[in-house]
């Protein structure tokens, strides 16, 4: 499974075949200093922070659609491009970027399985050469509210048997949180449980194995699954895996537990 191109994840082997394919564009979401030092051939750089912003309370919110379009056009992205996202933090930057693009109607996206660490471990080529594309023509066409959930709707559905909240933080984070612990009734599924650990990097487990583990935890396809973590990247990654497994109703709590703590404080 890991050596094949799936809907959402692409292996290093497959990416190597697409390096010179002009239908694909690689976007590097690491810090600019790391990108300038070395990157995969043909990759362009974008700051991962353009895919979200923090409000005055430090809570994640969606970026303005026009702002995001502008940033993507500046690096040469078009509406018909196929994007391959790369980072060096277990795909956490890539996952939130992919989810945000999905929200705005752009779905031609793959994440590099094993992230850049696997590419480097396999001694695949890197370069310092910077590619500059002409101004892109991407248009973000819609706002897919069905994959997002906000606090008001969570409060309305807190006791619903049709909705299952899934906490993707570590057990330590949940047990030591001083305000709230987790959303009432939430099932715990740590985001790193989707991976198989290899020397120096993590790759996606076999999808059938992941689905079996999810089913054992009661995370079933007949419910609306709401995933959340501290501030969205971990749960965005789980969101993508659930969609890969054809879960029909998956929603991300973008504000995450950073916001839920504030809600809990009002009831103390």
Q: Which domains does the chain have, with CATH numbers?
A: 9-121 (3.40.250.10), 145-265 (3.40.250.10)
How far apart CA 213 and CA 196 sit, in angstroms, is: 13
How far apart CA 115 and CA 122 sit, in angstroms, is: 12
Q: Each residue of 198-249: pLDDT tens digit?
A: 989 999 999 999 999 999 999 999 999 999 999 999 999 999 999 999 999 9
Give Cβ neighbours of residue 34 (< 8 Å, ≥ 6 apart).
Answer: 88
Give Cβ neighbours of residue 237 (< 8 Å, ≥ 6 apart).
Answer: 90, 91, 92, 95, 168, 191, 194
Q: Could you tell me what percentage of the chain is helix, strand and coil, using 3-state DSSP and rounding each to the nearest 5?
A: 35, 20, 45
Please tell me whether residue 32 adopts helix, strand or coil conformation. Answer: helix
Q: Each residue of 77-115: pLDDT tens digit?
A: 999 999 999 999 999 999 999 999 999 999 999 999 999
Phi and psi, residue 107, nearest 5°: -125, 0
pLDDT at residue 266 greater than cutoff 60? no
Give Cβ neighbours of residue 248 (< 8 Å, ≥ 6 apart).
Answer: 221
How far apart CA 53 and CA 56 sit, in angstroms, is: 10
Q: What totals of helices (H) and strands (E) does the chain contain, helices first? A: 10, 13
């Amino acid at each position: 499974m890991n050596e094949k191109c799936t809907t959402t994840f692409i292996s290093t082997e497959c990416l190597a075949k697409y390096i010179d394919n002009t239908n694909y564009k690689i976007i590097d979401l690491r810090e600019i200093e790391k990108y300038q030092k070395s990157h995969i051939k043909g990759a362009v750089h974008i700051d991962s922070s353009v895919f979200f912003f923090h409000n005055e309370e430090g809570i994640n919110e969606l970026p303005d659609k026009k702002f995001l379009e502008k940033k993507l056009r500046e690096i040469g992205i078009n509406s018909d491009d196929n994007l391959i996202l790369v980072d060096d933090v277990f795909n956490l930057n890539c996952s939130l970027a992919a989810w945000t693009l999905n929200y705005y109607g752009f779905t031609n996206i793959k994440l590099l399985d094993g992230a850049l660490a696997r590419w480097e471990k396999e001694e695949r080529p890197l370069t310092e050469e910077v590619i500059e594309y002409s101004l892109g023509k991407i248009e973000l066409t819609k706002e897919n509210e069905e994959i997002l959930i906000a606090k008001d709707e969570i409060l309305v559905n807190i006791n619903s048997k049709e909705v299952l909240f899934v906490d993707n933080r570590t057990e330590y984070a949940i047990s030591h949180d001083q305000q709230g612990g987790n959303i009432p009734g939430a099932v715990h599924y740590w985001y790193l449980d989707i991976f198989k650990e290899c020397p120096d990097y993590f790759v996606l487990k076999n999808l059938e194995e992941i689905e079996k583990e999810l089913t054992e935890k009661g995370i079933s396809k007949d419910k609306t699954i709401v995933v959340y973590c501290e501030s969205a990247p971990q749960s965005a990654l789980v969101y993508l895996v659930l969609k890969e497994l054809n879960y029909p109703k998956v929603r991300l709590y973008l504000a995450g537990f950073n916001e839920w703590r504030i809600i809990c404080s009002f009831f103390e």
